[in-house]
Chain A
Amino acid sequence: MMGRYVRSRVIWAALMVLGIVILGFLITHILPGDPVDVLVGDYPAPPEYIAQVRHEFGLDQSLAAQLWLYLANLARGNLGFSFLNREPVLSLVLHRAGVTLLLMIPSLVLASVLGVLIAVRAAARAGRALDSFLTGLSLVGYSIPVFWLAQILIVIFAVQLAWLPAQGMTSVRSSGTGAGALVDFLRHLALPAFCITIYYLAVVARVTRSSMIEMLHQDFVLTARAKGLSERAVLWRHVLRNGLIPVITVIGYNFGYSLTGAILTETVFAWPGLGGLFISSISNRDYPVLAGIFLLAAIAVVLANLITDLLYAVADPRVRISAALA
């Protein structure tokens, strides 16, 4: 049963990756302009290289042949070369993505854990004030331009109060290793992490809370209580076990949204991840890098969604049946 579900989800994910790749192809080859520009970028490249690109990507051949060559290149990991950064696109993007993850992962983990804790403690009390606050917070988080929030935070905390650094991931004068370096890193992490977490935390807290409240009214909780179980046992083994299921999906399916937010946040904080690469590629028209970022980001989100689907099936046995029958 589980096997069928896993298979169907993996196949769908693979199809989506294929769709993304084809979309990438269409963008680079169909839009007005010479595809060479897209593949090489707006950089005075040596003519031999341009000829090589033409050949590699079959730009003088039919569209179908081009697609085939494109896919073949992709499979080999050839996403082009960034003259601006003097590095193959793939390794460049992967390296920067790692730095972005260094910002995202702690933020998301912190936001999820805090969100769940706040919500669990609050669910039992079912305070309307907290509910309104969380709703308001997630509405604000959803409406505010994240890059503006970043700017405001810098102006307040870095310029006016000078508590935290405004830019970068590390200080020029930092020690490099040890506890000092860690503290320095954390100080640099604080503001950008806040930008990313604020929406996430609000959404996670809201969903957890409403899920918990709904769970508390479920019939099986009555059965659990009727057995004479302690309130703690009822809460942890029955309410939470069911209540956290939608939370898993919320955390997982919002990964794409936070990735976008992270990239934008990085541009303001000059965090040396994908964001900076993004901006420099735009202004310098380094198209292969842009296309590469899109491809990798999209595939990462598909993967994140796939993992969420699988975790969801592990947590909720009912999904395995209905999905297999679908």
Chain B
Amino acid sequence: MPDKRLILEVDGLHVTYASRGRTVHALQDASLFVAEGEVVGLAGESGSGKSTLARAVLGLLPQGITRIIDGRIVIAGDDVTHYSPRQWEGVRGNPVAIVFQDPLSFLNPVMRVGDQIGESVRRHDPAARTTARSMELLELVKLQPAVLRRYPHELSGGMRQRAMLAIALGCKPRLLIADEPTTALDATTQTEILALLRELRATLDMSLLVISHDLGLLRWNCDRVYVMYAGHTLEWGPTGDVLARSAHPYTRGLVDASRLRRLPDDHFATIGGDVPDLHERYRCCPFFSRCTQVMDVCRQQIPPARGNRDGHGARCWLLEDGRE
């Protein structure tokens, strides 16, 4: 993997934001990387920091309220961590573009879809003829050319998501981040969109970073996956390994819950305890209060990373003791 070029690299990112006079640590130790041609997944529940990470990577966090206090973000070899807004304009769209969840609020309601796609084209592909290229993009995402003249509220959820894709693709990205691309859609549409994403990746030679809480979705689509919790990256590796042979108790808990696995007492598998309090800055394992295999050291020190970056690894004290 070291010979493949990295488009995106996040290393130990720590992001805070101010809320009602208190500080919230949205990300405390987030790390991941995406190389060319890969499909990488980012798993986690709400509050895990995955959306924050997606926005941080493009400098889209609200200025003035959020601060990056540690770590770095590297895009195509450039350290963009403390970029100014002007500098960010050069990074967004190309090489990294993003597609959001729930496209109705993410599309300009008073602008025709075609114009919104055209904006991307004019910005990133000035040599192209806007209308022609926009129609090409629509075809790419399997939308009728008539959609060009429609307004967002005239389209169905699935069509809007495709339109968002077209807008992002108009930027000619090398990496496309999809933040919960199917959560707002019904099951049938979800499958269609995912198939479309797979197809696009192949035809356009683009990397994908798929963010989702749906493990099933990640299993069928991603080469590698990261698992986040309370702003920390807890486990990472090839999807099959991480999900079938999870190293971290949290991942195991997630997998069990997603499989609707029944315990011997006939209850569904869940992860006990409360959601993490992000006002805290963790100087130990963030999962300690809910872990069924918690040990004393878990409450006292941050577990080191075991396993290498390119393979299967996790941050868990269990791995230290040689107890897998």
Contacts and interface: CB of A to CB of B under 8 A. Distances in A.
Touch between chains A and B, by CB atoms below 8 Å? yes
Interface of A: 218-220, 222-231, 233, 237-238, 241-242, 245, 315-318, 321
Contacts of A229: 89, 119, 123
Contacts of A224: 108, 119
6 contacts: A222-B60, A225-B60, A226-B93, A227-B171, A228-B93, A231-B85
A219 B93 contact: no
Contacts of A219: 100, 102, 105-106
A227 B100 contact: no
Q: Main secondary structure on chain A at its contact with chain B?
A: helix
A13 to B, nearest CB: 24
Contact of A223 (B85, B107, B110, B154): B107
A247 to B, nearest CB: 14
Contacts of A245: 110
Given A223-B108, A237-B119, 4 more contacts: A220-B109, A222-B100, A227-B92, A321-B153
A225 B97 CA distance: 10
Interface of B: 55, 58, 60, 85, 89-94, 97-98, 100, 102, 105-111, 119-120, 123-124, 151, 153-154, 164, 167-168, 170-171
B164 A223 contact: yes
A228 B108 contact: no
A226 B151 contact: no
Nearest to A320: B151
Contact of A226 (B90, B97, B110, B154): B97
A50 B295 CA distance: 106
A231 B92 CA distance: 12
Nearest to A1: B154
A227 B151 contact: no
Given A220-B105, A223-B106, A226-B98, A241 B111 contact: yes
Given A241-B111, A245-B110, A317-B151, A228 B105 contact: no
B60 A228 contact: no
Contacts of A241: 108, 110-111
A318 B171 contact: no
